[in-house]
Structure 1
Amino acid sequence: MIKILQNRTFLFFFLGNIISLIGFGFNMIAVSWLVLEKTGSEFTLGKVIAISTLPGLVISIFTGYIIDKFNRKFLLVYLDIIRAFIIIIFLIYLNFYQFNIKYLYPLVFFMGIFNSIFWSTAQAFAQEVVSKKDYFNANKLLSASYQIGSILGAGIGGIVVHIFNPFNALWINSFTYIVSAILIFIAPYIHQKKENLDNNFLKSNFKGIEYLFNKKKLLTLLTTTIMSDVAIWGALSVLTLSISIQVYDKGTWGYGLLDGFYGVGALFSVILVGFCTKYLSRRILLKICYLFSFIALFLSAKMASIFIASIFFLILGLCNNSARIIVRTILMENVKNNIMGRVQTFLGIYTRLLVVFSSLFCGYLIEKYNIEISVIFTCFHYFIAFSGVWLISYQTKKSFSFK
């Protein structure tokens, strides 16, 4: 795994991605706290998350075509600069006008657009700059960058918001995007023009959908296991802060603790999943991961202390991210790089639709009923993921890249 970091292109991209994701962690906790501090409404927080996700649905129509056609390195650099610019404009505006919750809506809307393109581009770029035999290790390192960013972003971001204010956290967020842009810019990279890419982007995007529908077992796996990502980006974006506030009365620092321990678990998964795949098949590992994710999340809201709950979030991060690494590797192994962006377009649209529903419905359940029902709803995401793996395992013992 360390050998891949000798690839200077991947190394600078890896470091830039970590810095960028630290900033994203600051952004998430700052925005979440602003919403709950000003409104006290989990449903409003769900709406803000939905607004940040919805633009990704529209832009996803173009995203795959853009990723497969243009220079991915410079695309990542431009996206970092644009995201920094959006946050800086927002903060400068607040120097002249008193903060109102409605000002957050355009911020999260535009950030949602460019976050959507950045993450899809990062996945395709990682696949492009490493050899096929290194896909598994590249996914582990890419996942590690997400988790290091999550740990530092949520942990330090929670402290900054608690001691200072959310706006300081957003200034730091904008700075991280600038640093990320510089690191990715200096990565050595020669762009190779993609061949046979139709100039009609709609027709070109349908090739990605057609490609997946011709691989029905892969399609089944991706559309069910992606529910674990929907849980993290959707329901848990609302639920984690609510658990900290309503169950344990710990506010932002409690959110930072839970999210940070999730990140620690996810970081350890990078080592654990490599060890486990030597002794267990992928399909068995996926079943174990989704089952334990279900149990850990369910128990996390029933503990006597937030510190005990954070251990269950660590287990959740360990299991959820182990599964994510395996599924991402299967995706890379079974989808050609010259069509990866368009395949991710379909998956991105599908995921964002579910994230919008997941975040809104979770916020609604917390506000109108109670947090226990919203926990069960979020656990159900992992039940669907488990069921998808079980269905494929039941159909055949040897399923595409399962070993």
Structure 2
Amino acid sequence: MSRSIGSGLAALSVSAYRRYIVCILVSFLGNLAHLVAATWLLLEITGNPASVPALFLVSAVPGVVLAPVVGRIVERYDQRLVLLVLDIVQAGLVLAIPLTSALGVLGAWQLYVQEFAIAFCGTVFFSATLSFVRNIVPPELLLSANSVTAFVYQLGNTLGALVGGLVVSIWSPYAAMVMNATTFALSALGILSIGGRRFRQPRRTSTPVLGPGLRKELVSTLRFMGRSAGLRDAAVLFLALTGAQRFLIGQVAPFVEGELGASSLEYGLIQGALAAGALVGGVLIPVLASRLPRKLLIQGAVPFAGAAIVVFSQSQTSAQSAVSYLLVGVVLQFWAYYQTLIQHELDPLTEGRNYAILGATQAASHFLVFLVGTVLTTLLSIRLVYLVFAVILVVATVPSARKLTRYHERTNTP
């Protein structure tokens, strides 16, 4: 068992990756704390609950609209430099809100502008990290690295929401934003410290970020992603599991309160079970990938996720919910496996634009998931909503899972 755990965490044997993952954890924690503070502050300023969904819509725009620009940034510049600049810029953006408040000129529009700018930085960050991790981790440890990163993402989000809520309740939203700026500064220092061997030296494009041909690049990238079976179908499965995670996070509060009648403490424990499941999944996925047939991994992950959601939907007590939600957390981490398949399909010269399109598609799919969830909850009970979603999730991904299996059998990719 200890050997299995060791193989699941093998990427942590790389010094540069250990430094990198600490930076990622700090960034995720600060981002969620900031989100809690921004939504709370927006409600205080506007007094309108509808202003919060509008903030989330604004945050989705950069990833969808500016994907070609994001791709060029990642492909033209050293990713380590990009990550460092992003941390510095975001620290300044976050500190701008307490400053404008101190000057007495803070309004809701500044929060929307700030969220747009931070969302743009986050889109670049997503693409740059996917590219950068391939430079500091050997190919055989990429799945382990993605699995550990997936857990850290979940852990950072959980701790960030908790810490953000505490800071806002004890001090103020501005204190949470100052804390977030501090996490960006710490992350920048960590990025600066990353050295060591480079397992890949990516080629750089000389095309200016805002130079001509953005539309042509976008069209050609979409065509490439659409025609590449290994990329297209892996992306469908990746988006299915990340979308399912967002769906569950959005629906778990009404389920726990309305169906179980649980307390806020029990709700927190159930949410914590998802993070615990992410930890277990992060360790198990590289182990399972090395021992199970690829066909089972590709075709089994999403159906298992659907089954886990069904089990969770039928839980009758908080204890049952926590155990089944832990199982959900384990299975949903398989998005890291599909992400690894995607990364292995990309050319270093053009991977930035592909990651940017993937991020844009992910933002759009999350918006669609929230929309579907909202519609379903107005028509059905929350238990039925989970059941219907699980069925849609599995049925919609079966063709892609089968085609991806045939692709890997035909190409005999490692």
Smaller-chain TM-score bracket: 0.7 to 0.9
Alignment of 1:2-401 (within 5 A): 4-31=11-38, 45-95=52-102, 104-160=111-167, 166-188=173-195, 194-195=203-204, 198-199=207-208, 200=212, 202=214, 203-233=216-246, 235-247=247-259, 256-321=268-333, 323-366=334-377, 371-372=382-383, 374-376=385-387, 378-379=389-390, 382-383=393-394, 386-392=397-403, 398=409, 400=411
Q: CA deviation at 1:104?
A: 4.4
Change in CA separation of 1:160 and 1:372 when aligned onto 2, cut-off 3 Å: farther
1:340 partner letter: E
**Higher gyration radius (CA):** 2
* Alpha-carbon shift at residue 326 of structure 1 (Å): 1.2
Q: What SS class does the counterpart of residue 226 from structure 1 fall into?
A: helix
AA of the residue aligned to 1:316: V
Q: How many residues align?
A: 400
- After TM superposition, give the deviation of residue 241 of structure 1 in Å: 4.0
What's the TM-score once normalised by structure 2's chain length?
0.81
Q: How far apart in 2 are the matches of 1:30 and 1:248?
A: 29
Q: Against the structure 1 CA distance between its residues 193 and 240, is the aligned structure 2 distance closer, same or farther, given a 3 Å change threshold?
A: same
Paired with 1:303 and 1:33, the residues of 2 have a C-alpha distance of 32
Alpha-carbon separation, structure 1, partners of 2:265 and 2:40? 11
Whether the 8 Å contact between 2:299 and 2:402 is mirrored in structure 1 is no
Q: Relative to structure 1, is the Cα distance of residues 111 and 184 closer, same or farther in structure 2, using a 3 angstrom cutoff? A: same
In structure 2, the CA distance between the partners of 1:272 and 1:72, relative to structure 1 (3 Å rule), is same
Distance apart, 1:8 and its partner CA: 3.5
Distance apart, 1:119 and its partner CA: 1.3
* In 1: Cα distance, 2:37 partner to 2:391 partner: 28
Q: CA deviation at 1:320?
A: 0.7
Q: SS state of the match for residue 338, structure 1?
A: coil
Q: 1:398 to 1:367 in 2, by over 3 A?
A: same
CA deviation after TM superposition for structure 1 residue 159, in Å: 4.7
* Alignment deviations for residues 98-134 of structure 1 (CA, whole Å, 9 cap, x no partner): 9876664334322211111111111110012222222
Query: Partners of 2:368 and 2:121 in 1: how far apart?
Result: 21
- Secondary structure of 1:345's match? helix
Whole-angstrom distance in 2 between the partners of 1:295 and 1:39: 41
SS of the aligned residue for 2:290 comes to coil
The one-character-per-residue Cα deviations of 1:205-261 (angstroms, maximum 9, x if unpaired) are: 44533443442243123134412212334x345324444554456687666544432
Change (3 A) 1:238 1:109: farther
- Secondary structure of the residue aligned to 1:337 is coil
Q: Which amino acid aligns with 1:78?
A: V
Change (3 A) 1:93 1:246: farther
Query: Which one-letter code corresponds to 1:308 in the other structure?
Result: Q
State the partner residue of 2:3: none
For structure 2, the 5+ residue unaligned runs are: 1-6
The change in CA–CA distance for 1:174 and 1:249 in structure 2 (over 3 A counts) is farther
Tell me the percent identity.
19
Give the deviation of 1:139 after TM superposition. Answer: 1.9
Specify every segment of 5 or more residues in structure 1 that has no aligned partner in the other structure, as ranges. Answer: none
TM-score, normalised to structure 1, is: 0.83
